[in-house]
Structure 1
Amino acid sequence: MKDSLPSWSQTVIPLDVTISRQANATLNAPFVRLWQAFLTGRVLLAAALVLLQVSGIRLQATVTPLVWAVCLGYLALTLVLRWTAGRHLPAPRAGLQWLPVIGVDIAAIFLLQVLQAGSLNYTALLAIPILISAALGSLALAFGTTASVTILMLILVSWQNTTAAGGGAQAYYQTAFACAGYFGVAYLTHELARRVRRERALALYNRLRTQTQEQVNTLVIDSLSDGVLVVDPSLQVQQVNPAALQLLGLPPDHAQSFSLASRPAWEPLKEAVVASFTHVKPLSTTLHLPVDGPQGPTGLHLRTRITEVSAPDTDSRQTPGAPYSLCVMFLHDLREMEARLRTEKLAAMGRMSAAVAHEIRNPLAAIAQANALLSEDLNQHPGQQQLCRIVGQNADRLARIAEEILNIARVQQDGPQAMGQALALDHHTALCCGEWQAQAAPLRGLQLHLDAARHTIVFDEEHLRRILVNLLDNAQRHRSGTQDAASLQVITSQGSAMTGNQPWLQVWSDGAPLESSVQRHLFEPFFSSQSRSSGLGLYICRELCERYGASIGYQRLARPTARGMVEGNAFTVIFRSSAGAPAAASLFDSIVV
Structure 2
Amino acid sequence: MNHVTPDNTDQPGNERKPAPPAQSNRLFRVYNVYRIVISLVLAGLLFVDPAQLDQPMRLPLQYQSGVLAYLALNVIIGLLLAQGFRPAQRHITLSLLIDILVMHLLLAASSGITNGLANLIIISVAAGNILTPSRMGVFYAALAAICSLAVAGWGVMALGENVDNIVRAGSLGILYFGAALILQSVTRRMQRSEELADYRARSIVELEKINEQIIQRMRTGIVVTDQDGRIRLANGAAEELLFGLTGNQGHHSRVLPIALLEGLIAWQENPRKRPEPCQVQSTSPMIQASFTRLDEENSDLILVFIEDLSKVTQQAQQMKLASLGRLTASIAHEVRNPLGAISHAAQLMGESGDIGEADQRMLGIIQRHSRRVNGIIDNVLDLSRRRQADAELVDLPRWLEAFTREYQQAKGCEGGEPARIELETEPNVPAARFDKSQIEQVLTNLCDNGLRYSLEQTGSPRLTLRVGATADGERAIIDIQDYGPGISEANRISVFEPFFTTDKSGTGLGLYLARELCETNQAHLALLKQDSPGCCFRITFAPSGRLI
Q: TM-score under structure 1 normalisation?
A: 0.60
> For the residues of structure 2 that align with 1:425 and 1:338, how far apart are their CA atoms?
35
Aligned to 1:287: 275
Instruction: Give the fraction of aligned pairs with identical amino acids, expressed as a percent.
Output: 20
**Given that residues 288 and 297 in structure 1 are in contact (C-alpha distance below 8 angstroms), is that contact kept between their aligned partners in structure 2?**
no
Aligned to 2:533: 568
Residue number among 112, 132, 139 corresponding to 2:106 in the alignment: 112
Q: Provide Cα deviations, 1:181-205, integer angstroms capped at 9, x if missing partner.
A: 2211111111111222221122112
> For the residues of structure 1 that align with 2:104 and 2:341, how far apart are their CA atoms?
120
**Given that residues 149 and 169 in structure 2 are in contact (C-alpha distance below 8 angstroms), is that contact kept between their aligned partners in structure 1?**
yes
Aligned to 2:179: 185
Alpha-carbon distance change, 339 to 272 in structure 1, aligned in 2, over 3 angstroms: farther
Instruction: State the Cα distance separating 1:36 from its structure 2 match.
Output: 0.8
Residue number among 142, 162, 170 corresponding to 1:167 in the alignment: 162
Alpha-carbon distance change, 518 to 348 in structure 1, aligned in 2, over 3 angstroms: farther
Q: Residue 460 of structure 2 aligns to which amino acid in structure 1?
A: V
Aligned to 2:74: 78
Instruction: State the Cα distance separating 1:147 from its structure 2 match.
Output: 1.3
Alpha-carbon distance change, 212 to 287 in structure 1, aligned in 2, over 3 angstroms: same
Residue number among 39, 62, 66 corresponding to 2:62 in the alignment: 66
What value does the CA root-mean-square deviation take over the aligned residues? Answer: 5.8
Instruction: State the Cα distance separating 1:35 from its structure 2 match.
Output: 0.8
1:217-236 aligned at under 5 Å gives the runs 217-229=211-223
Aligned to 1:576: none
Q: Residue 386 of structure 2 aligns to which amino acid in structure 1?
A: Q
Are residues 1:491 and 2:461 paired?
A: yes
- SS of 2:251 mapped into structure 1: coil
Q: Residue 341 of structure 1 aligns to which amino acid in structure 2?
A: A
> For the residues of structure 1 that align with 2:27 and 2:266, how far apart are their CA atoms?
57
Alpha-carbon distance change, 12 to 122 in structure 1, aligned in 2, over 3 angstroms: farther
Alpha-carbon distance change, 66 to 338 in structure 1, aligned in 2, over 3 angstroms: same
Are residues 1:36 and 2:10 paired?
A: no
> For the residues of structure 2 that align with 1:159 and 1:336, how far apart are their CA atoms?
93
Alpha-carbon distance change, 247 to 512 in structure 1, aligned in 2, over 3 angstroms: closer
Instruction: State the Cα distance separating 1:136 from its structure 2 match.
Output: 0.7
Alpha-carbon distance change, 163 to 356 in structure 1, aligned in 2, over 3 angstroms: same
> For the residues of structure 2 that align with 1:294 and 1:384, how far apart are their CA atoms?
47
> For the residues of structure 2 that align with 1:75 and 1:508, how far apart are their CA atoms?
94
Number of residue pairs matched?
467
Residue number among 119, 130, 144 corresponding to 1:149 in the alignment: 144
Q: Provide Cα deviations, 1:516-569, integer angstroms capped at 9, x if missing partner.
A: x8446535531236899752465689999xxxxxxx9978899xxxxxxxx532
Q: Residue 337 of structure 1 aligns to which amino acid in structure 2?
A: V
Instruction: State the Cα distance separating 1:380 from its structure 2 match.
Output: 5.6
Alpha-carbon distance change, 335 to 196 in structure 1, aligned in 2, over 3 angstroms: same
**Given that residues 135 and 193 in structure 1 are in contact (C-alpha distance below 8 angstroms), is that contact kept between their aligned partners in structure 2?**
yes
Aligned to 1:266: 264
Residue number among 120, 123, 126 corresponding to 2:121 in the alignment: 126
Residue number among 25, 46, 60 corresponding to 1:53 in the alignment: 46
Q: Residue 206 of structure 1 aligns to which amino acid in structure 2?
A: R
Aligned to 1:535: 508
Q: Provide Cα deviations, 1:387-437, integer angstroms capped at 9, x if missing partner.
A: 7844763476357536743774587349999xx99967457452xxxxxxx
Are residues 1:199 and 2:169 paired?
A: no
Are residues 1:365 and 2:340 paired?
A: yes
> For the residues of structure 2 that align with 1:205 and 1:335, how far apart are their CA atoms?
44
Are residues 1:405 and 2:379 paired?
A: yes
**Given that residues 408 and 419 in structure 2 are in contact (C-alpha distance below 8 angstroms), is that contact kept between their aligned partners in structure 1?**
no
**Given that residues 506 and 570 in structure 1 are in contact (C-alpha distance below 8 angstroms), is that contact kept between their aligned partners in structure 2?**
yes
> For the residues of structure 1 that align with 2:277 and 2:528, how far apart are their CA atoms?
31
**Given that residues 46 and 71 in structure 1 are in contact (C-alpha distance below 8 angstroms), is that contact kept between their aligned partners in structure 2?**
yes
> For the residues of structure 2 that align with 1:384 and 1:290, how far apart are their CA atoms?
51
**Given that residues 152 and 166 in structure 2 are in contact (C-alpha distance below 8 angstroms), is that contact kept between their aligned partners in structure 1?**
yes
Instruction: State the Cα distance separating 1:227 from its structure 2 match.
Output: 2.3
Q: Provide Cα deviations, 1:118-171, integer angstroms capped at 9, x if missing partner.
A: 984422221122011110114322211111221222222223333564333x43
Instruction: State the Cα distance separating 1:379 from its structure 2 match.
Output: 6.5
> For the residues of structure 2 that align with 1:77 and 1:214, how far apart are their CA atoms?
48
> For the residues of structure 2 that align with 1:123 and 1:534, how far apart are their CA atoms?
103
- SS of 1:288 mapped into structure 2: coil
> For the residues of structure 2 that align with 1:11 and 1:187, how far apart are their CA atoms?
27
1:388-399 aligned at under 5 Å gives the runs 389-390=363-364, 393-394=367-368, 397-398=371-372
Alpha-carbon distance change, 359 to 300 in structure 1, aligned in 2, over 3 angstroms: same
Instruction: State the Cα distance separating 1:115 from its structure 2 match.
Output: 2.0
**Given that residues 454 and 460 in structure 2 are in contact (C-alpha distance below 8 angstroms), is that contact kept between their aligned partners in structure 1?**
no
> For the residues of structure 1 that align with 2:372 and 2:42, how far apart are their CA atoms?
113
> For the residues of structure 2 that align with 1:424 and 1:237, how far apart are their CA atoms?
51
Residue number among 486, 499, 503 corresponding to 1:526 in the alignment: 499
Q: Provide Cα deviations, 1:226-259, integer angstroms capped at 9, x if missing partner.
A: 22256999x999854354467788975346999x
**Given that residues 420 and 462 in structure 2 are in contact (C-alpha distance below 8 angstroms), is that contact kept between their aligned partners in structure 1?**
yes
Q: Residue 162 of structure 1 aligns to which amino acid in structure 2?
A: M
- SS of 1:528 mapped into structure 2: coil
> For the residues of structure 2 that align with 1:467 and 1:199, how far apart are their CA atoms?
67
Alpha-carbon distance change, 165 to 490 in structure 1, aligned in 2, over 3 angstroms: same
> For the residues of structure 2 that align with 1:227 and 1:541, how far apart are their CA atoms?
25
Are residues 1:210 and 2:186 paired?
A: no
- SS of 2:386 mapped into structure 1: helix
Alpha-carbon distance change, 18 to 219 in structure 1, aligned in 2, over 3 angstroms: farther
> For the residues of structure 2 that align with 1:209 and 1:402, how far apart are their CA atoms?
57
> For the residues of structure 1 that align with 2:184 and 2:504, how far apart are their CA atoms?
88
> For the residues of structure 2 that align with 1:421 and 1:295, how far apart are their CA atoms?
26
Instruction: State the Cα distance separating 1:18 from its structure 2 match.
Output: 12
Q: Mind listing any 5+ residue stretches in structure 1 that lack a counterpart? A: 1-9, 276-284, 309-316, 319-323, 431-447, 453-464, 480-486, 500-504, 545-551, 559-566, 573-587
- SS of 2:275 mapped into structure 1: strand
User: Looking at both structures, which has the greater relative contact order when contacts are Cα pairs under 8 Å and sequence separation is at least 6?
Assistant: 2
**Given that residues 496 and 511 in structure 2 are in contact (C-alpha distance below 8 angstroms), is that contact kept between their aligned partners in structure 1?**
yes
Q: Residue 152 of structure 1 aligns to which amino acid in structure 2?
A: C
Q: Provide Cα deviations, 1:303-348, integer angstroms capped at 9, x if missing partner.
A: 769999xxxxxxxx99xxxxx9x99653324455335434544454
Q: TM-score under structure 2 normalisation?
A: 0.64
Q: Residue 198 of structure 1 aligns to which amino acid in structure 2?
A: R
Give the structure with higher Rg (CA).
1
> For the residues of structure 1 that align with 2:126 and 2:29, how far apart are their CA atoms?
14
